[in-house]
Structures are given as C-alpha cells and as structure tokens.
Structure 1
Amino acid sequence: PSLSGLNAGSASTSPKSNQEKEDDESDVSPHKSRPLTRSNTVKPTFEEYLERQAFCEATQQLIDREKHLFWETAEAEANKEAVEKLAADHKALEQHVWQILQQSLSLSTEEEVSALASAVKAINLEEEQDQLWRQNPQTPPAWRPSEWKKHHDEVLQKLVNGRMDNPSSPIGDQVNQSSIEAEIQSMGRQLKEDLQWVVEVVKNCYPPEMDICNFYARQYHQTFSARLKKIVGSVDDKDCSFLLRWDLMIYIGRVLDEAKKEWDQGKEPTRDDGCYVSPVAYDVIQVQLLHKLVIKKAEIDAFIKMYQTFHEDVIKQNKPHSKAFIKANLSCVEQFRDFLVEHNLFPEDVRENCLQVLTEMKQSAHTYLLTPVHKILKPHYQKLGTSDWLKKNTFEKLLNSTEDELQELQGSSQSSYQELIGQLQQEVTVEYVRRLLKGKVKLKNTKKQQKAYKIVRENAEKLHELFGSEQDWLKEILTNIAEVLRLQDIPAIQMQIVSLGSAYPDLSEEHVSALLKLKTNLSQADMNTITSTVLDTLKESYTGGETRRFFSNVVMMSPSFPTCITSCSG
C-alpha cells in the first residue's frame, strides 16, 4: 500500500475528540471565554485512550495505577476489585497493541502509523516497568513481568512468516518459469517490497536503538532461507541452478550483514600483517567461484549497491573506527575489481557497471582518507612559491609532515596503499604547481631564476624519493617547469613549454601566462610572442588520442582564458 503525503514523523499526534472539535467551532470570538469542559480539565479515561489508539498514554496510566496499588499505598491486598480491573485493562491494552503490530506492513492511514508509533512507546514503557519490578523485593502482580519486547519480536516473526507463505506480489512469467522459480521469484519480490516499506515508513515509528530495519532484515533472511531448504529436496537441474543462485545471494547478504554488525558494535576490522582485512570480498568471491553461476544483473547490482551504501555510510558517520573500515574496504574493492577483470562470470554490461561502482567507492575512500592529510599540510603549502620558500628551507617541513601522514595512511593491502599514496603524491604535486603559479615570488633576474630552478628540481627529486613510487611523470612535470625558469633564450623557452604542452594537452594559456610572469625580466612583448608561438605550435601538432591529465586539476583564479590551449579534452 502507498501512503501519499504520510508524515510518519508526526506519529505521536492523535485526532481530536468530538468535544474538542465542538469547543473549537464554538469559540468564534477571541474575547469569548472557553467553557470548562472535560477535554481541558480532566485527563481522558483509559477507555478513551484506547479508542484514540493512544497506547503510550494508556500504558502510562495503567503503570501509574499499578504503582499506586502496589507501591505507594499497598492497597492491592485489600482492594482486589481494583487489581482485577487493572489486570483486565492491561489485557485489553495488550490485545490492541498486538493488533496494530500485526498491521505494521499494511498500514494505510496516518492514524495507523501514529498508532504503531504509540504502541512502540508503550512496549518500551512496559519494559522499563518490568525492570523496576526486578529491582523491587515486593511480590509483583500476575502480569509482571509482561515481557512485551519479547512478544513484540514473536509477533513480527509470525507476521514475516505469513507474508512469505502468502506473498501478495504477482506470480512471475509462468510460461518461461517452473512453479518453483515462480514461487521463489514471488517471495523475493515480497521480501524486497516489505523491506522497502520498513525503511520508508515503519522505521520512523521506532527509536534508533531498536534497530528495526536490521531486525526485519534478519527475520526475512531466516524465513526465506528456511523456505528454500524446504523445496530443495527434489528439483531438476534448472531449478537447482535457480535455487543455488538465490542461496548465493542470501549468503552474500549474510556476509555483508556480519560486516555491518561489527561496524555498529564499534569493532575495528581484524589485522593481518599490519593490514585491516574484511572477509566480504574473499567470502563472496569464493562462493561465486564454487558455484560457477551466471548471476543475474538485478542480483549482482543489488549486492554491489548494498555494499556501496554501507561504504558511504561508514564515511558519512565518520566514527573513530571509520578509517579502519575504509582501509579494509579499499582492499575489498581491489579484490572485487581483480576478480571481475579476471573471471568471465558476468555479462559485459553487468561487469562494467560493477567496475564503475567500485571505482566510485575507491575514489570516495581516497577523498575521505586524504582530506584530513591536506588539512594538516595546508600551513606548509602556504609557504610554497613565496620568498620564504626561495630563501629558507621551508620545503623540508612539508616533507617531514607528509612522511608522518604516510605512516598514518597505512593499513590497507600493499597495492591499495600504493594506489592511495600515489593519489596523494599527485595531489601534493598539483598543490605545489598551483602555489608556484600564484606568482607570490618575483624572479627579477637570472640569479634568482637559477636559484628557483635548483629548488624546484631538488623538491621534485625529494618528493619522488619520499613516495617511493614509479610515478616519474610527476617528477618530470616539476623538472620541465624548473627548466622554463632556468632558460633565458626565447626560442628555448618556447620549445620547453611546447614539450610540456605536448605531453599534457590540458595545459592552458592561463597556466603558460602564470609561469612566464614568474620571470619578471621578460617584457610583455616577449611573453605575448612566446604564448602565441606555443599556442600555434601545439594546435598544429595535436593529434588527439588519450593523454594523462594534470593541469586541469591546477585551478587558477582567472576565468578569462580558454580551458586548454589545444582546445581539446585530453
């Protein structure tokens, strides 16, 4: 069912009584005094609360009566009639609460959603009262402990069983499916629709600590698994393959649930040789290899999206153990990526979609882990390309801080770690070039330009040594920029910039202008000549094809120049 315009968050409200409506209608003048009525002077009776489905208020009223009879006045022995009335009211309330619970997956009005929210609050009040009685030496009434939370779980378990026994979703394509396939598909659709309903509506009726979404997910998983086991006895090959595929997806879901459970409990992933590890990728891959099944697009899409949602939730919540989980996930992403590339178990479109999701997960993990690093390095970035950078050895502080952060970034597999710090090296190099091209330092003569040349070359070499990577291209970019600073001959400067622009067509006219402005001994006419010649040469020599991008990440302040001097996307 669909609840259009339903506001589950306002579930604690209840409709006005007839008397209240009459009062509202009769009060036509702001100066007219409201008559004293039952609605605004006396609390509703227990029966009135039940009629309004205000179960929380009804429960509190019964608890107050219970405390009065058994704790405050000790009238329970003498006033058996009051005790019997209280017991009867408690029984009536309980029946109403279970009735609304049984409608949890078929709520059709805002009032019913409000009633469910009130029932959940009532259950928690009863749990609190049970706990108080456990701490009290007096003899409790016959209905204590009421154990409503336990009964709540049992009611919902029966509800789920009933939904899976009699799914309301239409049976699938009977022509192309066996009866077993159609039955399982129907149960699967019911499961999906019900869990979506839980997330969109039922969840709003429960406090977060009751974790109702995971409760329902476990119930459906257990029930669905049990149904599969019942029909697995005698099936043909086609049905067997179909069942195995469903069993695989259930197992995969269970693996992911275990990872979520550890996350919710605040546990860090286990370590193996100093690296955080998660069983998600290993277990899922082993099951897929074992069954050698052709997984349907919808099924693998569902898993990969669930995994991505879990991954992004870990990042969003940013708990103390988030970094450990993300490092473990990076290793999983790498395993999944290698598996998809090496094994032909999926259609091409499915594989490409999964690889795209895995790439997004890797990028979000890198951003999450590296953003705090750049925040720490920012004070050192600010010294780059300044007079202090030229006169003093300020770059060493950036190197030392970066080295410390490299230690903190460890924890994923070696190859995942190398990818991560390779990304950091690229981002640090981008920031280095951006700060240099801001032009805070003025190289007024050949001597200063020679000094800047040596510093940039030394910085490039030390950065390369620090990261210990094979990304020679990043060092070469800085070396080429250093050469432009060193050269004094106009044609030589032109050739050096053409060499840089040929390798990186995303080098823009703005970048060239900023680089030349560092050499303040160049006249405006010289700069115009160099820029014009470089622009023409690169346009003529550009042949297209894939090239590595770098300068498009070096964002300059002025928007007046074209994106790249070759007018290409690289």
Structure 2
Amino acid sequence: RDSRWQPGRRGREWPEAEKAEKLARGAALKWASGVFYRPEKLEALGQYRSRETKRNNSIQARLKSTVQSYLEGVSAGLEQLRAAAEEVQSVRRELGAARWALGGSAERRQDLQRMRALMAEHVQLASVVKVLPQLFSAPVPVFSRTLELLHEQHLLEAHAELMMLEQLRDDVLFQLHLRGLSSAQATVLSYFRGLQELNESLAKQLWGIVGRSLQLVREDPVLFVSAVRIIEREEKIDDALLLDATFLPPGRPKGWRQKFYHVLQETITGSRLLTARVDTTGPGLSRHLAALQREVVAELLVVKDLMVQCVPAHYNILSICPAMYHQALSSHLQDILQEDLDKQGLFLLLEWVLHVYQSPEMMGHPGLLPEVDVSALGPLISPDLVDQTERKYVVKVKVSVQSNRRTLEVEFKEWFREEEPETDHQGFFQSALPVIVMQVGPWHRRLQHPSLPCYLQGRCPHCASWATAPHLLSPSSSVSSLHPDTAPREVPASLQAALDRTQRKACQLLLEELLLDLQPLCVQLPSRKWLSGSQLVSSMCEVIDKYAKDFSRIRKPISMLLLTESERLVTSQYVRALMQRRMVCRGQEERGQLCRRLLQDATQLRELFQGLSLEAVFALRELICLKDPALLSLEVLGFITKYPDVSDEHVSSLLDLRGDVSKELRHMVLEMMAQHPQAPPEGYQSIFSTILVPAPELPFCLRKGKCA
C-alpha cells in the first residue's frame, strides 16, 4: 500500500474514488484467494507481485500523461478567452466612435432618397423612349379601318387587323413588365384604348351570329364558319399565353369557346316555344308538346347534318347540343308542372316525358342515330317528380270518377231497357258510355269525334253481362283514334294486349249467350225423331240468324270475328252432340238416313253462315257413310291428318254411332292411329280438343266370391 494514500482526506474530497478503491481491493482479495488457496501456489507469489507492480506503474504513467495534457488544454483555452475579451473591448470602442460619427448625417440620407426617386424616373423615361418607335408604328387609321370592316361584316379581315394591334400593344407591355415599370403601362393602355371598342364590337357580332347559327347553317353558312374560325384563333392565342404564364395581357384569357357554348345554351333556352306562355287548358298543351317534338327533332337534325360540318371536331357539338336541349326541356316542363294542370294535362305530360321523348318519333329518331344517345342524357324529369305527378293524376281521376258516378248509374239502367238502342248514321248501334269513359280518362279533349264502340241489343234483360259486353267490343278502334291533331300513332303494345283481351272477353260473353240458346236444341241430337225429319236444325238456324242480324250491325272486323267464332261454336256443339253416344244406328238403312240428315243440316248451316265452311261436319259424314267397314282405317287416317287433335275417344264414339264396327276392326283402327300420330300444323285452330266424350258404359256383372 502506498504510504501517500490518506483515506480520510481522499474520502472527503472524492467519495466516488474511495468507493472505487474499496471495490478494487475487494476484487483483488477475491482474485488472490482464488489463486493462492493451495500452498504450492505460494511459490509463484513473487512473480505475481512483480507483474502487478509493473502493471501498476504503467497505469500511473498513463494517468499522469492524461492529466498533464488536460491541464495544458485548459491553459490554452484560458489564453484564448483572455484575447477574445480584449477584442470585444476594442470593437465596442470602435462602434461608439462610429455612432458618434453618424449622428449628424440624417439630412444627407434624405438627399439620397430624392436622388433614388429621380434615378427610377429617369430609367422609366429611358424605357419609354426605347419603345416609342413601336408605338408610333401603329397608324391611327388602322382603328377606323378595322371598325369599318366590322360594320361591313368582313369578320376575318377585321380580326386580322385586330390581332396585329393587340400583338403590338402586348409587346410594348411585355417590355415594360420585364423592366418592372408597371406605372408606365397605364400610358400605353390609354394610347390603345380603341382596342377595347373594337373587341366589344367584334364580340357583339360574333354572339349575334352564334345566336342565329341554326338559321345560318341552312341558308348561308359562310358567316357562321367565319365566326367559328375567329373563336378558334382566339382559343389558340389564349392557350399559348396560358402555357407561358409569365405575362398575361389585359383581357386575357378571353374564353370565347366557353362563351360560344353559353350563347348556344341561351339561344336554345330562349327559343320561342320554350319561353311562350303555354295554354294548359283544352288542346293547348297537346299542341304545344307536339310542336316541341317537331321543332326539337328538326333542329337536332340540322345540327347533325349541317352544323357539325361548320365547327371543329373537338367542339363535340353532337353531344353538347342534345344535352342543351335536354336541359332546356327539363326546365321548361318543370315550369309547366308548377301550374295547376287538369288530369288530361298531367297524363299528356307524363306520356310525353316517359314515352314520346325517347321514342323513334323524337330523340330516338332514326336520323339522329347513332350519334345522339338519348340514354346518356338521363331522365327528363326526376323520378321523384314523376311519382309526384302520377299521384296528382290519380287523385284527379278519382275525383272525376266520383263526379260521374250518377251519369254511369243512368247509363247502367239504359242497358236493361226493352227498347232498341240508338244507332249512328250507318245503322250501327252506339252508346254514350265511351264518351263518359273518355271524359274520365286523360284523352277526352284530344278528340273531336271518336268512333264509338258498337252496341248490341240485349237478349236477356236479367243478364247484366250480356248488356255490358257490347260496350267492350271495339275499344281498339276507339283508342286508335285518340291522337292529338292528325298525327297517327300506334297504340302501345301493353295497351293493345289489354284491349285484345277485352275484345276476346266481350266476344266470349256474346258467344256464351248464343251457347245458352243452342244447348236446349243440341241435347236432342242425335235422335230418331231428328232423323225422321224434325225441325230441330231449323230452330237452331232461327236462333243463329237472330244473332247474325245483331252481329251485322257491328263494325268490322269484330262482326267477322263473331261470325267465325259462331261457326266454330255451332260446329263444336253439333259434333259434340253426335259424340254423346245417345244413339247407335241399327242397320245400313238407318246409317243412310243419318248421312242424308247430316248432309241437309251441314248444307243448311253453311247457307246460313253465307259461305263459311263447316268442313268438320262433312268429314264426319264421310266416316259414317262409308259402306265398307274394312276401309275405315284409311278413312280415319285421312281424317286425323286433317284434324290432328282427334283422340281415340272421339273415333271410338263415331264408330259406336255407326253400329257395325267389330271389336277387331276397332282395335285395328285405334292401333293405326297410335302408329301414325299427327302434329298440328302452324296456325291450326283446334275443334275436337275442346269436346269431351263420355266414357262408355261398362256391362253389368257380379264378381265371383263368397258373400260376406
């Protein structure tokens, strides 16, 4: 242990050093106890002591060197701080002297400010002097000559002069801008103040021409083409200046292409039809919508065929103009809907918006396709407004129906009167019911005199369906005449289908009445009383003739349809009666009598229907009159070829009526039918498929077996 170490003193001055020394001594003791824990290791104690002494001396030498270098650095730093303090004192003394020297120079500074202003003015004047030759190069008569060219509508020449003057002005202003002489620009602008007048005069003429563009492209497109070329020139000048973006002359960019579209939109929106007061009462709205349809289609055709050739392709005029018309019409129709329209007006407007507008008669016109795509324009009025208008229409129709209830009740009583209904000038029955219905609906004011549906005299005053049906017989012809003005228009497919169903239902009601009158007579067929010369068919003809006379007072083609359906009904009922197995011929003589009766009946009925065929009855007669039963297979094959809807039951019933067909022959005929199935040809009207044949009676027998 070093004798110079004083633990108390060092502990008081550096407590961390004392703690470190204690830790080191502890570590050394731990190391020594580990090394010398055996006696034989004590021999090497001198070597360990010598090595650690050298190591300790080396560490102390390095520490002394480090402390020495640290002290030398501190000494150098102190010397530098001392020198810096001396320099600061020197600078302070010099700044005080400078402040004292500048204390009396305030007046000289004001003189320098005046000199600076004079110098700036001198530079401006020098710059103006440099551009004076350019200013004087623009002769004063150019302004008056350009204005004269505008008045004479020499637009391209006038615009060329205008561009030359603007280029000169912009060059002078650009030079002043580069020199930062903004105050001198006012002098130049005052010198070129005539340019503003020329610009305004040219623009006024251009927008007047654009406003008459649809007329000019049809009559003389040269003026319109000149205006478009000027607008295109100005657009290119704007694009070049905006691309540079270092200096924009006064009035730039002009944006005349956007102004071109704006004027077109104002022209379309401000057209006579879109701004005129619309008479929404009477036929005024119908005529207005028809006029809108004609004018819009005509103007769009002019745009597609003529205007598109006069403007650049990138103007996209074929897409922009239809969109402008679409927007203008949408706004116009919304204004009309703000008024209190009646039910007819609401219906007309909804029909025009939802059907006419997109139809081939307007925006879907073949002449506009495929360039004009109406589907890309969106709805003409919003779906919410459509729903609102439909609700208003339904409310008004309900009110109208309620108000006409009394009239309908009176008309209903007329259906059951015993007197003959009124007739028109051609002798056809007519009724006031369609007029009443049309007044309830949306079309009654579009019409001067519709073709009134036919009316038949009711046979049974207790049958309301018979009295009601005649009013429904020709709704299609009535609706087809309900078109505004004289423009024909097809009935929509959905409405036509509904009218066709109504017609078929009305005809069915009438034919059902005919069937009710025929059934008591048909149940007597066939019978031996009928074979012996009964007036049964004559009675049937009387019934049919009464109906045919009523049918003759129905307008075509309904009358012909009723006669055709009546023939099919009579044929069906006659054939059905023959197949009910009410009679079986007892021999050849009775079969011959049956054949003669069938021929008389078919001939009498055919004469009644004025030449309409009853071929099914004649064909059945051939089957029954065949004398050789062995030929029945061939005859039946021809029969089923002509009438493919004949079934085995029908043929069996006819064979039963003959009374001379054996079981073997019947089996052969039916087997032949199974081997030669027939498919109905296209357009075939079935007869036998509607006839049900009763099942043959089974012979009575008792089953063998014991009694229970």
Q: TM-score, normalised by structure 1?
A: 0.45
Greater relative contact order structure (CA < 8 Å, 6+ sep) = 1
Please, what TM-score do these two structures have when normalized by structure 2? 0.37
